[in-house]
Amino acid sequence: MFLTYVRSLPNNEEQGQYLALDLGGTNFRVLLVEFTSSKQKILDCERHEIPNDLRFGSGQSLFDFIAERVIQFAIRHQLVGVRIALGFTFSFPLHQHGLAEATLVRWTKSFNCSGVVGFDVVRLLKAALKRKMHKSIPYVDVVAIINDTTGTLISGALMDKNCVIGLIVGTGCNSCYVEKLENIEKWPFNYSEPRQVVINTEWGAFGENNVLDFIRTIWDRSLDYESVNAGKQIYEKMVSGMYLPELFRRVLLTLIERGVLFNGHVPLELLRPYSITTSSMSKIDMDTKLNSFRNTKTVLSELFVRCDYSDVDAKIVFMINNRITQRAAYLIATGIWALAKRIDQTDISVAYDGSLLCLHPYIKLWVEEKLNKFSSSTNKKIRLIPSHDGSGYGAAIVAALCYREKRPKIVKRNGKVYEVTSFLNK
């Protein structure tokens, strides 16, 4: 569990344009967000894939790649000759020392860049931006670093005052929640209002002390053993988008080897690790209310060039897929319930984001069903509220929150709001 230093939530006093950068796992996003007294708006959102070699290369080349895209984005939006604040969403375990100071504890998901663990990520980003910035182009000022769950919670809180939990189920899985200061043993600061702080649970790491071993299968164990971070992120490996298809592939292989599936013939494509996508699993789960297993058969034909499957094979494939996704949903619900029990509030809204939860046809429903079951004997009501792009949007809100106090003079030019700072000497 990590402190985030985020304590106050937005109050509509934020104004101006802000940049947000969201580095999550699969893609990274650059956003331009505008706050006026009456509304907040995402003016533009650009998405880039991170090339594979950059995930395992040097930290410097990763940050240079990102900085280049940020500057190009800012230039495209004619943010020339201005200072613009940027909120950075960085969805990896961070030890935070302040709102804009955080060292990386370790890489997760599919990242393993050198020279970043143990270093201040904000400094690395600032240095990369500095290398790309010239006099005439924008001065991008990194003012805050947050986790994607925190961003999701903050943008959820803007819509719903009961929102006290943030949840991400995408490439990885994590959550955060609002905790009372009095419950934090070693709160390093004063106890002024608001007497709360957002805690990043990093619950993807749950199970590293073997507490989940009683439900881990042979496939969970082998996946972990052969992963780039063996022994780590045990819960995440049972619930998130990056790993579910790999579990599925491993179970299929076992059943083929035992002659239960496809007459014992292995389709060649299945031998490649991480070759199945989560969207295929979503498609197979769409057969939940059909008896024909039509989608499952389509996926099998799409995935494998040569594979003779029977109706029974299709049914087995559907069932394996379904058990894996449903188990993930139930484990996620269990995590949320553990947080909800801690929170002294009857109505609890959970802001969520992440493609697995947003795009899978049933996972969200299964999570809700399980939560209803857990809470049926209590007076708690738990609601899931979507916070699309919340992870990045939240970073812009935090950037705006930081600037609220020390906001420089604002000028309007060509209908755009600019902040003129002493840096420009105007």
Contact 172, 91 (CB under 8 A): yes
Rounded to whole angstroms, the Cα distance separating 110 from 274 reads: 11
Residues 327-356 that bind Mg ion (CB under 5 A): none
* Burial of 359 from C-beta contacts in 10 A (0-12 / 13-18 / 19+): middle
Closest separation in Å from C-beta 277 to ligand ADP: 7
Candidates 126-134, 169-177, 212-220, 316-324: pick the segment binding Mg ion (CB under 5 A). 169-177
Closest separation in Å from C-beta 353 to ligand ADP: 6
- Residue 109 annotated in active site: yes
Alpha-carbon Rg of the chain, whole angstroms?
23
**Catalytic pick among 64, 120, 141, 148:** 148
By CB under 5 A, tell whether 24 contacts Mg ion: yes
Interaction partner, residue 27 (ligand ADP, Mg ion, none; CB < 5-8 Å by kind): ligand ADP
Residue 39 CA to its chain's centroid (Å): 25
* Burial of 129 from C-beta contacts in 10 A (0-12 / 13-18 / 19+): buried
Rounded to whole angstroms, the Cα distance separating 3 from 345 reads: 21
Task: Tell me the two tokens of residue 53.
Answer: 């070699």
Interaction partner, residue 359 (ligand ADP, Mg ion, none; CB < 5-8 Å by kind): ligand ADP
Residues lying near ligand ADP in the complex (CB under 6 A) are found at 24-27, 170-172, 241-242, 278-279, 282, 354-356, 359-360
Q: Which is nearer to Mg ion, 151 or 245 (CB)?
A: 151
Interaction partner, residue 229 (Mg ion, ligand ADP, none; CB < 5-8 Å by kind): none
Contact 417, 16 (CB under 8 A): yes
Strands 83-90 and 173-180: unpaired
Q: Which is nearer to ligand ADP, 17 or 240 (CB)?
A: 240
Interaction partner, residue 9 (Mg ion, ligand ADP, none; CB < 5-8 Å by kind): none
**Catalytic pick among 22, 64, 109, 353:** 109
Task: Tell me the two tokens of residue 95.
Answer: 């030890």
The torsion angles phi and psi of 87, rounded to 5 degrees, stand at -100, 135
Interaction partner, residue 242 (ligand ADP, Mg ion, none; CB < 5-8 Å by kind): ligand ADP
Q: Which is nearer to ligand ADP, 72 or 279 (CB)?
A: 279
Kindly list the residues in this chain that would bind Mg ion in the complex (CB under 5 A). 24, 148, 170, 391
* Residues marked as catalytic: 109, 148
